[in-house]
Structure 1
Amino acid sequence: MGYKTPTPIQTQSIPVILSGKDIVACAQTGTGKTAAFLLPLIQHILSAEKRHLNALIIAPTRELVLQIDQQIDGLGYFCGISSIAIYGGNDGVVWSQQMHALEQGADIICATPGRLMALMQSGKIDFSNLKHLVLDEADRMLDMGFIDDIKNIASKLPSTRQTILFSATMPLKIRQLIGQISKSPQLINIAVSKPAEGVKQLAFNVYEAQKPDVLTLHLKQYTSDTILIFCSTKEAVKRLERELLKQQFTVQAFHSDLEQLERERVMRAFKSKQLQILIGTDILSRGIDVEDIGLVINYTVPPDPEDYIHRIGRTARAAKQGTAITYIAPHEQRTFFKTEQLMGMEVEKPNLPATFGETPKYEPEVKHQKGTVKTNSFKKPFRKPFKKH
């Protein structure tokens, strides 16, 4: 799965969850909190003498439920862990599929509160052997008016269960809820990650088709000996390498298709400043150890705020100065805004020269479609349900 070093929330939460104690963790989205509760839950399930409905995860939205369910697929694929995603909607087919899945049985149910309440009233869910209750993004469920549903659901679960609650904030009503549904929980508060003070952050609002020309401008404008460019996919890394080589830049892509000896050769050239520009994905941001990188460019906005911190953390190391530039296409604005929220700061967004023509406004509250262009620049894995005992 690519895990090498646990995040702070994982380091502090996993031992507590494995111990069976109740836990309340104050942690932002993008801190690795989902794996922080899924990994120990999977370990508990694998250690159980009998397989039954072991864990209930409640999340505020269908999107988050599906995201968690997909992570269960990935983390538990080779362990035979099964899960069911339960969420609302007007589709009768979805309702029938969810009812059928419940009849087949699963280790974990991941659900939105409203649909879960409806299914509980149908009598199709047996919680008598439930061991773990997880509430993810509890403060968001409060904002959406689900707290009474949460209390109702919790009251129908075994009192001996372990309660695990994650919330970005701790308003009074969440603290009151904690007192009602948990027993002497261990409290964990994770400080928000911050970029190094020496990093000058800049972001440019651009249309996707403007990115190549804007990148060319900045590569000519910033005369750093070493420049890192990050893309979100290996294919984008290769494509960008070809474009920059055509323009006679000294550039090399760094990706998983390279043999180990070639990777080592590329990294030696970059460290010795024989290679000026290195392009890679977020794997590079966590594994590179090179001093004096003067410029980091995010050609695409990383989907995870923590990845943004890791990317720009490659510059301004050891109390030195550096610059981090991010190109924000309209469909990436909402993601970048979440990153700004996590850091507790607004990144400066200068205007591009007038020669680039019209550029998009920064409107992160508006849902933009991917691929908006204004210029002419260039199924889940199958899992067999276990048999009920």
Structure 2
Amino acid sequence: MDFSSFNFETSLQEGLDAMGFEQPTPIQEKAIPVILDNKDLIACAQTGTGKTAAFILPVLNKISKSGSDKLNTLVLAPTRELAIQIDQQIQGFSYFLGISSIPIYGGGDGIVWEQQKKALETGAEIVVATPGRLIALLAGGKMDLSSLEHLILDEADRMMDMGFSDDILKIVNYLPKERQTILFSATMPSKIRQFSMKILKNPQEISIAIGKTAAGVTQAMYSVYDGQKEDLVKNILSQKAYEAVIIFASTKEKVKGLYKKLRKDFEVEAFHSDLEQIEREKIMSGFKNKSIKILIGTDIISRGIDVVGIELVINFDTPSDPEDYVHRVGRTARADKEGEAITFVNPKDQYKFARIEKLIGMEITQIPLPDGFDEGPVYQGEKPKSSSGKSKGKSGGHKNNSKGNYKSSGKKKFPPRQ
């Protein structure tokens, strides 16, 4: 099917045609008719499947059809980055509709706070907000939600993990009881299902295969000691003039430390929660326009970034949650492009990596460490290791300055695990 099958309003369809939208993704194909039919919905779909368009397009169509200029839709998102991203997509989709949206998020200074309040007073049909900042506005009597018809929760599992469940329930108390509620989540643990029953009415359910990585991603792993990781990152980045790379580390302290090591040789920036909002927006803008080639961050950016053309994802630390691996890897090979994902696995994280392979249903190829590196630990899979994960010697296992033998252009066939 194509988008014309949804019988969208002419102005919305013209916008999709201008943007080159032809065929809907599976989540769009299944979710859009349900939302157009005014049914509550629980949808399970991971990042990169086109879920934002799946919930925004039918809502825009309904607003356009009604001609209302009152606040119609509230979208809740876990992070400011995701809220900004959703707002930007709404602006793109609604270009020909005259429908406006406002992002409401914390982390800015007093000027940003005043700008957000003023924008609300001016009015918009759609508000995209993080729960904490919205609660503050509601408590101050700055918002009238009586005309609201749609409540959308995006990345509901991440909001639960961040402790926003009570805030969401408080927000729901401000909303009309007669509304359509749409919940999107990348995973569907029992706590999400139980929570959804508190705010949705007889919802329909849609699930798009969770745990599968995009076909265009070449996945590989190195079995390493912690002391070898920094040299290995430098080795990989030296193989090719990458235009867009994301490196994921487990903590902001590691992000900062790795940034200090890499900035001498590469165009790199660190992205973490200690940065002011204006700094974060500047960095993200630079990464999108390719003036910043390499971005180092925690999982805060695994779901809140939508950049086509990311060539390489490096997991400096093995993700603790297998589904986080899917989200990290999902940053590359978007829009039917190809990409690479490389994971560093130390001895104590081998069992985590085995769980990742089990989730995605495939064995990820192990690459031998490059020439000039001491031998890494033997990968044994699911059994946790008692080793501290530190490499032998002070050099971190790096014997010389050889560039190594990892080549990263095109599809590769790596030797089997040792």
Is TM (by shorter chain) over 0.5? Answer: yes
For 2:129 and 2:161, locate their aligned partners in 1 and report how far apart those are by CA, in whole Å.
Answer: 17
Superposed displacement of residue 356, structure 1: 8.9
For 1:211 and 1:89, locate their aligned partners in 2 and report how far apart those are by CA, in whole Å.
Answer: 32
**Correspondence 1:354 to 2:371:** yes
CA distance 1:173–1:78, shift in 2 (3 Å): same
**Correspondence 1:122 to 2:140:** yes
**Correspondence 1:96 to 2:114:** yes
Question: Max radius of gyration: which structure?
Answer: 1
For 1:80 and 1:231, locate their aligned partners in 2 and report how far apart those are by CA, in whole Å.
Answer: 35
CA distance 1:307–1:40, shift in 2 (3 Å): farther
Asked whether the equivalents of residues 55 and 130 of structure 1 are also in contact (C-alpha less than 8 Å), the reply is yes
In structure 2, the partner of 1:305 is: 330
Superposed displacement of residue 49, structure 1: 3.2
Asked whether the equivalents of residues 53 and 130 of structure 1 are also in contact (C-alpha less than 8 Å), the reply is yes
Letter in 2 for 1:17: I
In structure 1, the partner of 2:159 is: 141
Residue by residue over 1:169-220, the C-alpha shift from the partner in whole angstroms, topping out at 9 and shown as x without a partner, is 22333222222211111011111374699x98436786578557469xxxxx
CA distance 1:184–1:340, shift in 2 (3 Å): same
Residue by residue over 1:55-85, the C-alpha shift from the partner in whole angstroms, topping out at 9 and shown as x without a partner, is 0000111111111111112111222221111
CA distance 1:87–1:196, shift in 2 (3 Å): closer
Superposed displacement of residue 41, structure 1: 1.2
Asked whether the equivalents of residues 86 and 98 of structure 1 are also in contact (C-alpha less than 8 Å), the reply is yes
CA distance 1:82–1:341, shift in 2 (3 Å): farther
Give the alignment of 1:271-286 within 5 angstroms: none
Q: Which range moved further: 12-21 or 89-98?
A: 89-98
CA distance 1:178–1:34, shift in 2 (3 Å): same
CA distance 1:98–1:351, shift in 2 (3 Å): same
For 1:108 and 1:192, locate their aligned partners in 2 and report how far apart those are by CA, in whole Å.
Answer: 29
Q: 1:181 aligns with which of 195, 199, 213?
A: 199
Q: 1:26 aligns with which of 44, 48, 54?
A: 44
Residue by residue over 1:239-270, the C-alpha shift from the partner in whole angstroms, topping out at 9 and shown as x without a partner, is xxxxxxxxxxxxxxxxxxxxxxxxxxxxxxxx
Asked whether the equivalents of residues 135 and 165 of structure 1 are also in contact (C-alpha less than 8 Å), the reply is yes
For 1:68 and 1:107, locate their aligned partners in 2 and report how far apart those are by CA, in whole Å.
Answer: 14
Residue by residue over 1:339-374, the C-alpha shift from the partner in whole angstroms, topping out at 9 and shown as x without a partner, is 9898466733413432599x9xxxxxxxxxxxxxxx
In structure 2, the partner of 1:164 is: 182
CA distance 1:180–1:2, shift in 2 (3 Å): same
**Correspondence 1:73 to 2:91:** yes
For 1:145 and 1:299, locate their aligned partners in 2 and report how far apart those are by CA, in whole Å.
Answer: 33
For 1:54 and 1:342, locate their aligned partners in 2 and report how far apart those are by CA, in whole Å.
Answer: 39
**Correspondence 1:109 to 2:117:** no
Give the alignment of 1:173-322 within 5 angstroms: 173-192=191-210, 194=212, 201-202=219-220, 207=233, 213=239, 299-301=311-313, 305=330, 308=333, 310-311=336-337
CA distance 1:207–1:195, shift in 2 (3 Å): closer
For 1:342 and 1:127, locate their aligned partners in 2 and report how far apart those are by CA, in whole Å.
Answer: 41
- More contact order relative to length (CA 8 Å, sep ≥ 6): 1
CA distance 1:212–1:328, shift in 2 (3 Å): farther
Paired residue secondary structure (2:42): strand
Superposed displacement of residue 50, structure 1: 2.1
Letter in 2 for 1:25: A
Superposed displacement of residue 127, structure 1: 0.9
Aligned-pair Cα RMSD in Å: 3.9
For 1:2 and 1:40, locate their aligned partners in 2 and report how far apart those are by CA, in whole Å.
Answer: 18
Give the alignment of 1:35-50 within 5 angstroms: 35-50=53-68
For 1:350 and 1:142, locate their aligned partners in 2 and report how far apart those are by CA, in whole Å.
Answer: 37
Superposed displacement of residue 328, structure 1: 8.1
For 1:92 and 1:200, locate their aligned partners in 2 and report how far apart those are by CA, in whole Å.
Answer: 45
In structure 1, the partner of 2:149 is: 131
Superposed displacement of residue 90, structure 1: 5.4
Unaligned runs of 5+ in 2: 1-18, 223-228, 246-306, 315-327, 345-352, 377-400, 404-418
For 2:358 and 2:46, locate their aligned partners in 1 and report how far apart those are by CA, in whole Å.
Answer: 10
Q: TM-score normalized by structure 1?
A: 0.59
Unaligned runs of 5+ in 1: 216-229, 234-280, 284-297, 313-323, 330-336, 360-374, 378-389
Q: 2:74 aligns with which of 38, 56, 77?
A: 56
CA distance 1:47–1:325, shift in 2 (3 Å): closer
Superposed displacement of residue 145, structure 1: 1.2
Superposed displacement of residue 165, structure 1: 0.3
